[in-house]
Chain A
Amino acid sequence: DGGITQSPKYLFRKEGQNVTLSCEQNLNHDAMYWYRQDPGQGLRLIYYSQIVNDFQKGDIAEGYSVSREKKESFPLTVTSAQKNPTAFYLCASRIGTGLYNEQFFGPGTRLTVL
């Protein structure tokens, strides 16, 4: 089955720790995205990548880092510099970055800071 997988589904972090969220896709999509979703806030773009070894900051990149070493993988690291990391994190991918390209989402990772 083609799709996007995110792991883990639930993640607990102590304050001051870095954690890495996994996102893998087997759709052969070029572009990948990370969003953060908070209650009442909608989806906010953290980082996106249009091709391997290249990525751009989104609207709320501070305290986060990413890498894109392989086309199918786009891990997100939530660093200790992120002041309020508790949220639902969604990874998405698109076959290209044209106007009509649909964005497909993974199932999400819920991160809680203890």
Chain B
Amino acid sequence: QVQLVQSGAEVKKPGASVKISCKASGYNVASNYMHWVRQAPGKGPEWMGKINPGIGSTTYSQKFQGRISMTRDTATTTVYMELSSLTSDDTAVYYCAREYCTATTCYNGNLDYWGQGSLLTVSS
């Protein structure tokens, strides 16, 4: 069965960086884009970007350009999201989410499996 297992909660100081992992299993990880979505307390979800785990190409939201990086390790089927220059506004639950694909088509807005979420708290 498809599983996305994320790393645990983090506490960081303003100005620091964080790297969150998402280990995927139960499917051909190279075949589906992985998206990152965050949700601040009491707010709606916010799309951050996506990575093609097969070739490593990325697309980032303009909001995070310059301080976000998504990478992958094909050997361990793990994708990573690193966010730098943290502020208190980055306090949120961060999710990885798989984009649904059939054998021939990928549905960009169809995020069918989600990780359990990783809570990031940024505080001095």
Q: Is the A/B pair a real complex?
A: no
